A = this chain, B = another copy of it.
């Protein structure tokens, strides 16, 4: 078993969702953008475009987590999700510093409008969260949180990975780190747990549609960076 097949537990909802969306999941987590992060060939402008949209993404991601607080069913869950919002909002500030290191002035990041790709995934998540319950919301969010964990593990195991002088090393390390991997594992475990408590298997047709659409929208998110470099 590859290390990235280890998220979630055997027989749990997360693995079932991942398996059912196999083609879309593969196309997302091993997208050309990811492979070129790995071999270091990704054009700088593609990465810069991605970083700016990722900043705009984080703001919407924090809003989705706020919705999760609203929908949480225990004080403990409310506390955990509130801590997530705080962490994401702190990350937006760090992200501006990171963008600056990549030559993108803060003013430019702030002035860029959200792309259709950023809007589509983030608002899809928010809509699933409002139309459905906490499980629908978490299933729409999981491709992001768990998926980035898988992307990092795939890069770390990639024979074509550029080890010396890979310009994207800091990004790879951030998502390959123990702390991020822990977050990703927890997100998959949350899906498994909600799958049990919220009838995930009975609801599988709807949930797999959500998960698959989210994976497709994440592919588009990577693709926009490549398109920016090509244009």
Contacts and interface: CB of A to CB of B under 8 A. Distances in A.
A206 interface: yes
A59 B74 CA distance: 9
Contact of A89 (B59, B78, B124, B131): B78
Interface stretch (A28-36, A112-120, A145-153): A112-120
A127 B121 CA distance: 12
Contact of A75 (B59, B127, B213, B216): B59
A115 to B, nearest CB: 9
Q: Is the interface of A mostly helix, strand, loop or mixed?
A: helix
Interface in A138-180: none
Contacts of A203: 197-199
Nearest to A119: B120
A92 B126 CA distance: 25
A102 interface: no
Contacts of A198: 199, 202-203
Contacts of A85: 69, 78, 82, 85
Interface residues of A, number: 45
Interface stretch (A1-9, A44-52, A60-68): A60-68
Contacts of A199: 198-203
Contact of A123 (B59, B66, B114, B126): B126
A136 interface: yes
15 contacts: A66-B67, A66-B70, A66-B78, A69-B85, A82-B82, A119-B123, A119-B124, A126-B127, A126-B130, A127-B127, A196-B202, A197-B203, A198-B199, A199-B202, A199-B203
